[in-house]
Amino acid sequence: QVLRIKTRNEEQVKQLQLLESLEHLELDFWINPSAAALPVDVRIPAHNVQAVKAFLESQGIAYSILIEDLQAVLDKEKQEMAYSQQRERSSNSFNYGTYHTLDEIYAELDHLASEYSSFVSKLQIGESYEKRPLYVLKFSTGGSDRPAIWLDAGIHSREWVTQASAIWIAKKIASDYGTDPSITSLLNQMDIFLLTVSNPDGYVFTHTTNRMWRKTRSKNAGSFCVGVDPNRNWDAGFGGPGASSNPCSDSYRGPSANSEVEVRSVVNFIKNHGNIKAFLTLHSYSQLLMYPYGYKCTQPADYAELNDLGRAAASSIQSLYGTTFTVGSICTTIYQASGGSIDWSYDYGIKYSFAFELRDTGRYGFVLPASQIIPTAEETWLGLKKIMEHVRDHPY
Amino acid sequence: AAMELQPSHGLASRAATLATAYLCYRRGSPGRALALRSIRRARREDIDDVGHKYHLELVLEDVPDKDSTINCTAEVLYHLGSKNVAPDVQFTLEGELKNTDEADDVFYNQIRSLEKELVAENIPDSHGNVPPEMEPIRRLAWVASGYVIWQNSTENTKFHLAQIKRVKQMKRSDEYLEFDYTILLHEMVSQEIIPWQMTVLWHPHHGVQVTRDSRQPKHTLE
């Protein structure tokens, strides 16, 4: 039971403070006794309720019952939460404007694949270190082995706005086919592959244990420290400057290129597919739109085209809410970093390789308020669309 | 010899972030935090036997009023070699900052009238939420972290305040407010999250002081 106690004077406050010190009563004060004018709320285990009431009455201390049966209230709340979760599932009211657990995102992938089953399907491209499935949504209106666009999010698990944006983008692509001329023509010629959670082990860890976790959760031989930075693990300048050889570092490159199954699975998928024409990856934060290289500070051969396209995409992003993205190569814009994904994809032959750093510029950083998820997804989508349209119109 | 840098250049961005942090420390309060809106111009000068000096023209935002911007010129000198010497920062603001005396006084009185010393955790929380009554506490951390960032910056670092893990108000017998913060700093170049303790002193019409600060071991998090 939860009681509300109204003390009349300092003497009574002292009595309550005495009561507070009696540990065997297992009293849980929701408002502690401090001043006579303020109420004191206390939760009392059932078996001690009578004793405490008797004490209060003997001291002439007034009280009332705030909550008759706390357990009943909690049970009801739990029931209601389960019910509304269930309603959300069955009535397709996935709230894109809030952060979700891995399970919730995976459930929505299934939902999208089922609702748009004529052109959306879910593939498993591998398993994480802790054996969680790596799911890719395939958007395809037909053909066989059409040229395709790759888009991934959440390779760094703490960058929550990226997984959240990716699932919004999935819904956007699915619902725009048949209504938006640009996306319709795009999907009539090309396929899109979308990996919404590239690092599911890390993502779960950010929910259960450490919101700021970045890496995978693989064990490192000979070290207590866990995990490899999956964006230093690609076979592009691996071992060079801008990645650490220390397993405890947040930019640890790993024992060898592709050591991380999360990276290897994507590499294998892309190689096996054989017809990927663009490789786009989402990170946060800093509001940047970058092209190769990161592992070296020299310009890529396609610098002019990539720079122009990047600027056009940044301009599209800005047109919606005024959000400014800085465009440039990874090396000159942030830092030299070896083993990065778009360097690998570019050197592999995928010309249109871009890395986005989404909102914001440091005010909230990784803990971007949920209210900014949809605006971020909306503006980012405009930039992605600009790039995809260019890829569609410039086959190679 | 001074070399013009693209405002989008990573080195300009680091110097600008540092200059903003320092500025925020010098001019901030629970009623005002300053953030970097954009870099208009950046030049880098290599001074023999001394270090690298950045000349910057910045546009700053007066948080919480995002529409209120102020121009600023700043010079950041990173000293050659020494890891233990903080960079020199000089700045000039073009125009006046908004007066925050009223907001500061309100916050001061609110804290002084609390029955029990304030304690809070995870600001913002995992979902980016900040309870409105915690906004001044957050701005105060921002301002104070500017000092820590300034003292620990080099040309190869770019720090932001990632989160307040814990804040505890300390009892004082004088008129000052004192808070013990454990914050998480995000260092962009290494991508490390660094826990840091700082003891912060403040009184309206006085500046923010960091009387003690120390880097904490990383496993404090896990």
What is the CATH classification number for the domain harbouring B128?
A: 3.10.450.10
Q: How far is B160 from chain A (nearest CA, A)?
A: 6
In order of B107, B117, B170, B175, the CA distances from B203 in angstroms are 10, 16, 14, 7
Same-domain check for residues B192 and B121: yes
Assigned domain for B220 exists: no
Same-domain check for residues B75 and B28: yes
B62, B94, B126 — which closes off a domain?
B94
Same-domain check for residues B113 and B71: no
User: In the prediction, which pLDDT does A101 show?
Assistant: 98
Q: How many residues does chain A have?
A: 396
Question: CB–CB of A367 and B38 under 8 A?
Answer: no
User: In the prediction, which pLDDT does A38 show?
Assistant: 80
Question: Which SS3 state, helix, strand or coil, does residue A152 take?
Answer: strand
Range of the domain at B53: 2-94
Same-domain check for residues B119 and B200: yes
B94, B112, B135 — which closes off a domain?
B94
Across the interface, which of B6, B125, B162 has its CB nearest the CB of A365?
A: B162
Question: CB–CB of B163 and A244 under 8 A?
Answer: no
Asked whether A335 and B10 are in contact (CB, 8 A), the reply is: yes
Question: Is residue A209 less than 8 Å (CB to CB) from chain B?
Answer: yes
Asked whether B175 and B203 are in contact (CB, 8 A), the reply is: yes
Residue B3: pLDDT band (50, 70, 90) is very high
Question: Is residue A248 less than 8 Å (CB to CB) from chain B?
Answer: yes
Query: How much of chain B, in percent, has pLDDT values that exceed 90?
Result: 88
**pLDDT tens per residue, range B54-75:** 999 999 998 777 778 999 999 9
Q: How far is A362 from chain B (nearest CA, A)?
A: 6
Q: Which residue has the tokens 């509300």?
A: A4
Check pLDDT > 70 for residue B5: yes
Q: Is residue B134 exposed (0-12), middle (13-18) or buried (19+ Cβ within 10 Å)? A: middle
Question: CB–CB of A211 and B63 under 8 A?
Answer: no
Largest CA distance in chain A: 90
For residue A77, the surrounding DSSP H or E stretch is helix A70-90
- In this structure, the number of other CB atoms found within 10 A of the CB of residue A34 comes to 14
Query: How much of chain B, in percent, has pLDDT values that exceed 70?
Result: 97
Same-domain check for residues B74 and B150: no
Question: CB–CB of B190 and A251 under 8 A?
Answer: yes
Same-domain check for residues B171 and B201: yes
Same-domain check for residues B49 and B146: no
In order of A108, A126, A164, A230, B175, the CA distances from A123 in angstroms are 14, 9, 19, 21, 64
Check pLDDT > 90 for residue B145: yes
Same-domain check for residues B90 and B109: no
Q: How far is A96 from chain B (nearest CA, A)?
A: 13
Q: Is residue A245 exposed (0-12), middle (13-18) or buried (19+ Cβ within 10 Å)? A: exposed
Residues of chain B with C-beta less than 8 angstroms from the C-beta of A248: 218
Question: Is residue A151 less than 8 Å (CB to CB) from chain B?
Answer: no
Asked whether A165 and A122 are in contact (CB, 8 A), the reply is: no
Same-domain check for residues B60 and B35: yes
Residues of chain B with C-beta less than 8 angstroms from the C-beta of A99: 126-127
B33, B64, B94 — which closes off a domain?
B94
Residue A357 is among the residues annotated as catalytic for this protein? yes
Assigned domain for B62 exists: yes
Residues of chain B with C-beta less than 8 angstroms from the C-beta of A332: 6, 8-10
Asked whether B69 and B37 are in contact (CB, 8 A), the reply is: yes
Reference A100, options A170, A167, A194; nearest CA is: A167
Distance separating alpha carbons of residues A281 and A290, to the nearest angstrom: 10
In order of A62, A159, B169, B172, the CA distances from B166 in angstroms are 37, 22, 10, 19
Asked whether B119 and B181 are in contact (CB, 8 A), the reply is: no
Residue A90's contacts (CB-CB under 8 Å, 6 or more residues apart) are none
Same-domain check for residues B88 and B107: no
Look at chain B and report how many structural domains it folds into.
2
Check pLDDT > 70 for residue B9: yes
Distance separating alpha carbons of residues B3 and B164, to the nearest angstrom: 38
- In this structure, the number of other CB atoms found within 10 A of the CB of residue B126 comes to 17
Domains of chain A: 2-68 (3.30.70.340), 94-215+230-393 (3.40.630.10)
Assigned domain for B222 exists: no
What dihedral angle (degrees, nearest 10) is formed by the CA atoms of A90, A91, A92, A93? -120
Same-domain check for residues B115 and B10: no
DSSP annotation of A142 reads S
User: In the prediction, which pLDDT does A24 show?
Assistant: 84
Distance separating alpha carbons of residues A287 and A379, to the nearest angstrom: 11
Across the interface, which of A210, A250, A333 has its CB nearest the CB of B222?
A: A210
Question: CB–CB of B222 and A209 under 8 A?
Answer: yes
- Of the candidates A159, A357, A379, A389, the residue annotated as catalytic is A357
User: In the prediction, which pLDDT does A71 show?
Assistant: 78
Torsion sign over Cα A218, A220, A225, A227 = negative
Same-domain check for residues B78 and B116: no
Distance separating alpha carbons of residues A85 and A82, to the nearest angstrom: 5
Assigned domain for B28 exists: yes
Residues of chain B with C-beta less than 8 angstroms from the C-beta of A325: none
Assigned domain for B46 exists: yes
Distance separating alpha carbons of residues A45 and A54, to the nearest angstrom: 15
What average pLDDT does this structure show over B28-47?
95
Assigned domain for B138 exists: yes
Question: CB–CB of A367 and B162 under 8 A?
Answer: yes
Question: CB–CB of B35 and A363 under 8 A?
Answer: yes
> Can you name the residues that pair with A326 across neighbouring β-strands?
A288
Asked, as a colleague might, if the bond just before B64 is cis with ω within 30 of 0, I would say yes
Question: CB–CB of A212 and B218 under 8 A?
Answer: no
Assigned domain for B64 exists: yes
Asked whether A134 and A177 are in contact (CB, 8 A), the reply is: no
**pLDDT tens per residue, range B88-115:** 999 999 988 988 999 999 999 999 999 9
Report mean pLDDT in 10-residue bins for chain A, 396 residues.
87 87 86 82 88 88 83 74 57 88 98 97 98 98 96 98 98 97 97 98 98 98 96 97 96 98 98 98 98 97 98 98 97 96 98 98 97 98 98 97
Question: Is residue A229 less than 8 Å (CB to CB) from chain B?
Answer: yes
Residues of chain B with C-beta less than 8 angstroms from the C-beta of A210: 221-222
Asked whether A380 and A358 are in contact (CB, 8 A), the reply is: yes
Residue A118's contacts (CB-CB under 8 Å, 6 or more residues apart) are none
DSSP annotation of B124 reads S
Q: How far is B125 from chain A (nearest CA, A)?
A: 7
Question: Is residue A336 less than 8 Å (CB to CB) from chain B?
Answer: no
User: In the prediction, which pLDDT does A85 show?
Assistant: 57
Across the interface, which of B13, B115, B126 has its CB nearest the CB of A367?
A: B126
Assigned domain for B113 exists: yes
Residue A153's contacts (CB-CB under 8 Å, 6 or more residues apart) are A162, A163, A165, A166, A195, A196, A197, A198, A281, A282
